[in-house]
Chain A
Amino acid sequence: MAFIDVQKVNKIYHSGDVEVHALKDASFQVEKGEICVIVGQSGAGKTTLLNILGGMDTATSGQIFLDGVEVSAFRKKQLAAYRRNDIGFVFQFYNLIPNLTALENVELASQLCKDPLDPEEVLAEVGLKERMNNFPAQLSGGEQQRVAIARALAKNPKLLLCDEPTGALDYQTGKAILKLLQDASRGSGMTVLIITHNSALTAMADRVIRVKSGTIAGQRLNEKIIPVEQIEW
């Protein structure tokens, strides 16, 4: 069985009388240590997919396995534990706690899980050794996103989920962040799932999954992986 195994996942939102079929029989697999880019247009259902994979939402039907464990069968509390221990999350808008310093933001996450990495080391790895004691407001966007990544990595999760990690960043900074993610995956063999509407990013992925109107329009392994530095968009 694949590291991530999504089988016939459906998600239907009810909003009043209107039913929105956000995901229709979505099935795909991702192997351990892969960088997977899920690409699709706004409203295609990528975020729903991410929510379900990240344990933030539950599927209406279908099964999801992570490392052989059926996530789709989890209850709320188990989901919280799952998020706590197995998932690292990188948000588009960083979502750092404004009242905590960079280091404290990382520590906030690392203190939650069972087998954390050393926060200072992780911060050093993402190149923020010098700014460790700064508050988010005192950091630039890229730096903030690095803190966010460090926060995700420090948990030493099984799966790193990134929601438009470059969406709020400028081109160069975005590239640097993607590089960081790629390095993290390559370095520690962490499975990384990046959600983006930017097809250009597919070039850096091991695996590319296209989502369209709630269905998996296709999934392929990238034969020719291009280093992040060379990707242009």
Chain B
Amino acid sequence: MKRAFRKNIFRTIKKSLGRYMAIFAIIALGVGFFSGLKSSKPAMMKTGQEYVREENLFDYRLISTWGFDEDEVEKIRELPGVRAAEGAVSEDFIFINAEETQNCLKALSITEEVNVLTVEAGRLPEKANECVLDAALFPENMIGQEIVIAPENSDETRDSFAYDSYTVTGLVRSPLYLNMERGTTTIGSGKITAFMFLPLEGFSYDYYEEIYVDGDITEEAFTDAYEDAIEERADGLKEEVSAIVETRYRQETADAQAEIADGEQELNDKEADARQELADAKLELEDGQRQLEEGKQELSDGEQELAEKKQELSDGEQELADGEEALAQAEEAFKAGEQQLAAAEAQFAQEEASLSQGESQYRQGLAEYEAGLAQYQQGKEQLEAHRAEYEQARAAKEQMEAAGDTDNPLYATLKESVEEFEANEAELAAAKEQLDGSKEVLDSTLAQLTEGRQKLEEGRALLEANRQELEENRSLLEDNRAKLAESRDQIEEGKRQLADAEEELHAARGEIADSEQELAEGWAEYEDGLAELETELADAREELNDAKQELADLAEPEVYALDRGTNVGYASYEGDVSIVEAVSKIFPVFFFLIAALVCSTTMTRMVDDERTQIGTLRALGYTKTAILAKYMIYSGSAAVLGACVGYMVGTRLFPAAIWKAYGMLYGFADLILVDNFLLFLFSLLVSLVCSVGTTFLSCRMELSHAPAELIRPKAPAAGKRILLERIPLLWKRLKFLHKVSARNVFRYKKRMFMMILGIAGCMALVMAGFGLNDSIANIVNDQYDNILKYDISATYSEAVSKEALSEIEEQFGAEITNQAVLMETSVDAPYEGGVKTVTLMVSEDDSIRECVDFHLDGKPVAAPKKGEILIDKRLADIYEAEVGDTIVLRTGEVETQPLTVAGIFENYTFYYAYVTADTYEAYFGETFEPKTIYMALSEDADHYQVASYLSDMEHASNISVIEDMRIRVSNTMQSMNYIVVLIIFCAAALAFIVLFNLGNINISERVREIATLKVLGFYPREAGAYVFRESMVLSIMGIVAGIPLGILLHRFVMLQIKIDMVSPEIKILPLSYLYSVLLVLAFTVCVDVIMRRKINRINMAESLKSIE
């Protein structure tokens, strides 16, 4: 190459640096993007491989249904193709963290040679009661704390651990967990939160559950060669291990058989003994029974006797009482007799006295009478003596009377003497009469008295007899009394005797009752003993039968040799990492296409610019090849430089950014960059094809012209009418400058395509970037605003009571907008490719729909009936199920009856299904226990306050605030932003390069036009608009074209991203469309602003120059 020629090239580059840079930049961008994306997967693969190799991830994981013992591990270690083999155990347990929520941790035994742990902080355990924790999920301040095996764990779980608590000594990563997936478990919530490693001695175990084998395979992980190597050895290894385990199986089954036989013998012996013993006991009891009967008879005889005696005694008593009564009566009578006698004596005495008195009175009366008689006699003699006088007096009187000389005082004295005499006589007669009467009385009295005296004498005799009788009675009475006292004594004695007898009898009765009780007890004991013996025997027999059955059922030990494909982290790593590769398939094509267009237009323009120069050179005698070489060197050098820079930057920037984004899934090691010379070579080649190839094509056309023609200025491209002009209605309304722009737009088809493609690509990239963000970042919002509408989920260890609900209602009634009580449980969903863990929601009523919105494509999904289930779209996709199909779920190992899919609802994270309580009980065969409350709170409610209240309630086991989860997920999604930024950066670069290039070409091509317009008096703004209206129109066309492209691109990228945890909805928010359009327009405007300055610098004098 001539010096001048070389100089020319350098000068050209220097002069047209913008143009050179455009080629350089677009190639750099294309190569950067291509090599960056292409090398991301290898870099990540390499990182994974290195990590897996360094930490010595197992090649085989041997599992036997019989476990393994130390000898077997030893034997397996000796097998060919086994470099290391280590037995391991693991146990899932519930751990209550500082926030008092239940977590399930997986405790694994530390293996030394295989699955080596990387210590992130602290140190490995040195003692059996020390442990290390999952570095990805625990903060460093856990070191030194205790991990307590919560009392909530089953006994079985607790028994698996040698200690109740373990001291955390460090945080580690394990190659067993490449990503964040920690797996599921049968305990607690069903989801393992994190892992924990302890020394083997920290477990209490009989057999190793599994053996991790280092298969001594040199092939790199994740490669087909590795898979082949693994597969090649797997069957052999499995058989050899099976043989080893089978030896133990044979030994153990033989032992078991012998044991069963022994057991049977023993059982039979024992039975015989026990039966004999029981029979003896029965005999004894029967004897006792007989004795008791006798005793009872005796007792009843005694009782009979006693009763008789009692009767006798009571008869005696009666008699005694009668006697006493008689005695009393007799005494009474005696006393009455005595009294009578006394009265009679008194009467007698009185009568005697009155008789005596009467006698004395008689005597007195007699005396008086005799006196009276004497008197009378005297009187009578006196009177007789006086008679004669009287007879004189009388006869005198009678004369006088007869004479009627009554008045004579002799008469009164006569009369008085007569009357006196008569009265004396009468008186004497009366006295005589009286005396006679008295005499009569006296005589009667005397008779009476004599009679009385006689009567009295009779009475005295009677009295005397009575006294006599009384005296006799008295002595009789005395006798009776003595007799009675004697019989009373006798009765008392009898009574005493009776009491004694009774007491004796009572004691005997008690004794009998006691022995009866004793006997009953004896019988009961006997019966119990018998029953016990029977059940014991039945149990023992059953046990024996079970053991026999077990032995019979005992399958030969199954041995499984699992490879890394069963490790979730390892298995998903390759797939997840391959996402980038898928993306790398279409982007670079696009970039290189644009690069080719940019090179082509640029070089065409350049060749056009230097047309006269080319002509001159040709005229001077330079060959076509030499001239072509200049341009090819020009574009080629730009491309080589661009490819180098692009490769250097791309292969470092892209993998780093992508690794950063993957950090939320895989953050196990620092990225190892991989340089791939072939990739570089390929990029370079494509770049050269794009640049040199297009240059060649554009130059060849020019050079095919004769030099003479080249020297003359090229006729400017003819103006052409465009399609738009055929619509006069529209065309006439356009301003000229708009018309010019419109015509310009279509003047250079290649540039138009470049521009539209470039901007469309930019638009598509930006949209894909924003869309990526929308789809992933909005999973959170969609999930927690539109599907799971509750703010707090509170799970209790027991069914939620009405009291608890009303307590909550009372406390937070105003804050709670919706509430549902349900049962939330994990079930397995087996499908062709494996098993997914599904959160099954079970509720009795429809209230759950207030908290969980079952909808699909904006339409609500109807509630399931009995036997029906609602499943989410993700599950439906996995099952390939449609409404009306039936699916089978699994709880533990038990399969449900087929459930009819009644509806499919939208959901983005995890897997959910919903059935009613009666379906659950009928189809899952378990009891419905609503232990969970979903609560939607009002806007201004303090979620944490409610949550803390709920967690303080009784039986609270897990209170989760959705806000927390939302923040957590959002944070992890943030890493996605790196990719978005990277994409937007690339899009911007693309837009800038294309716009710059086009602007540059347009301006350089239209310097004359622009200068002329300026001369014509265009203001700078107008002159700028003349050029930029065009690029603006093209930009808008590009944007319009870019929108469907963006949607497709975004869809494509999203389809590649399949993370198990989430299934992003493929969507771009309207705002993102707006942002994308604005961003691309901003790029356009930005380039315009820079370009305008260039236009302003165009000298008007250019217009005067001749066309070169």
Contacts and interface: CB of A to CB of B under 8 A. Distances in A.
7 nearest A-B pairs in the assembled complex, by CB-CB distance: A84-B1017, A135-B719, A137-B718, A83-B1017, A95-B1012, A56-B1100, A99-B743
A108 B719 CA distance: 15
Contacts of B739: 100, 104
Interface of B: 715-720, 735-737, 739-740, 743-744, 747, 1008-1009, 1011-1020, 1100-1101, 1103-1104, 1106-1107
A101 B719 contact: yes
A77 B1106 CA distance: 27
B718 A138 contact: yes
B742 to A, nearest CB: 9
14 contacts: A56-B1014, A80-B1018, A80-B1019, A84-B1017, A84-B1018, A89-B1016, A91-B1012, A93-B1107, A95-B1008, A97-B1013, A99-B740, A113-B1017, A136-B716, A137-B718
A198 interface: no
Interface string A81-124: 11111010101110101111100100111011100000000000
Interface string A134-163: 011110000000000001000000000001
Contacts of B1013: 97
Contacts of A92: 1104, 1106
Choose among A56, A57, A98 the residue with the greatest number of B CB atoms under 10 Å from its CB. A98
B736 A111 contact: yes
Choose among B1017, B1019, B1107 the residue with the greatest number of A CB atoms under 10 Å from its CB. B1017
Contacts of B1103: 91, 95
A129 B340 CA distance: 196
A105 B698 CA distance: 31
A154 to B, nearest CB: 11
A107 B737 CA distance: 10
A93 B1013 CA distance: 14
A27 interface: no
Given A83-B1017, A135-B719, 8 more contacts: A51-B1100, A80-B1014, A91-B1015, A97-B1009, A108-B1016, A136-B716, A137-B717, A168-B1106
Contacts of A77: 1019
Nearest to B737: A108
Nearest to B715: A137
Nearest to A107: B736
B1017 A112 contact: yes
A7 interface: no
Nearest to B716: A98
Nearest to B718: A137
Contacts of A99: 719, 740, 743-744, 747
A112 B1014 CA distance: 11
Contacts of A89: 1015-1016
A40 interface: no
Interface in A47-81: 47, 50-51, 54, 56-57, 77, 80-81
Contacts of B736: 100, 104, 107-108, 111
Nearest to B1106: A93
A148 to B, nearest CB: 10
A56 B1100 CA distance: 6
A104 B1107 CA distance: 22
Choose among A97, A101, A137 the residue with the greatest number of B CB atoms under 10 Å from its CB. A97
B1017 A91 contact: no
Contacts of B737: 108
Interface residues of A, number: 38
Contacts, number: 96
A163 B1014 CA distance: 16
A2 B1045 CA distance: 66
Contacts of B717: 98, 137
Choose among A54, A80, A113 the residue with the greatest number of B CB atoms under 10 Å from its CB. A80
Contacts of B1008: 95
B719 A109 contact: no
B715 A56 contact: no
Nearest to A87: B1017
B1104 A137 contact: no
Contacts of A135: 718-720
Contacts of B715: 137
A188 B245 CA distance: 119
A151 B1017 CA distance: 12
A57 B1101 CA distance: 8
B87 to A, nearest CB: 84
A57 to B, nearest CB: 7
A165 B735 CA distance: 29
A100 B1017 contact: no
B1012 A97 contact: yes
A111 B1016 CA distance: 11
Contacts of B718: 98, 135, 137-138
A46 to B, nearest CB: 11
A149 to B, nearest CB: 13
Contacts of B1012: 91, 95, 97
Contact of A136 (B719, B1020, B1100): B719
Nearest to B1016: A109
Contact of B1017 (A80, A101, A107, A136): A80
A54 B1017 contact: no
B1016 A137 contact: no
A92 B743 CA distance: 25
A93 B1012 CA distance: 11
A178 B1017 CA distance: 24
A89 B1103 CA distance: 11
Contacts of B744: 99
A100 B1107 CA distance: 19
Contacts of A91: 1012, 1015, 1103-1104
Contacts of A54: 1015
A185 B744 CA distance: 35
Contacts of A111: 735-736
A47 B1017 contact: no
Nearest to B1107: A93
B1007 to A, nearest CB: 11
B1015 A83 contact: yes
Contacts of B1017: 80-85, 87, 112-113
A36 to B, nearest CB: 18
Nearest to A89: B1015
B530 to A, nearest CB: 120
A124 to B, nearest CB: 20
Nearest to B746: A99
B719 A137 contact: yes
Nearest to B1011: A95
Given A98-B716, A99-B744, A83 B1101 contact: no
B749 to A, nearest CB: 14
A11 to B, nearest CB: 12
A137 B716 contact: yes
Contacts of B747: 99
Nearest to B743: A99
Contacts of A80: 1014, 1017-1020
A4 to B, nearest CB: 18
Contacts of B1014: 56, 80, 83
A75 to B, nearest CB: 12
Contacts of A56: 1014-1015, 1100-1101
B284 to A, nearest CB: 133
B364 to A, nearest CB: 202
A137 B719 CA distance: 7
Nearest to B720: A135
Contacts of B740: 97, 99-100, 104, 108
B719 A98 contact: yes
Contacts of A101: 719
Contacts of A168: 1106
B1103 to A, nearest CB: 5
Nearest to B741: A99
B1100 to A, nearest CB: 4
Contact of A83 (B1016, B1020, B1107): B1016
A100 B716 CA distance: 12
Nearest to B1008: A95
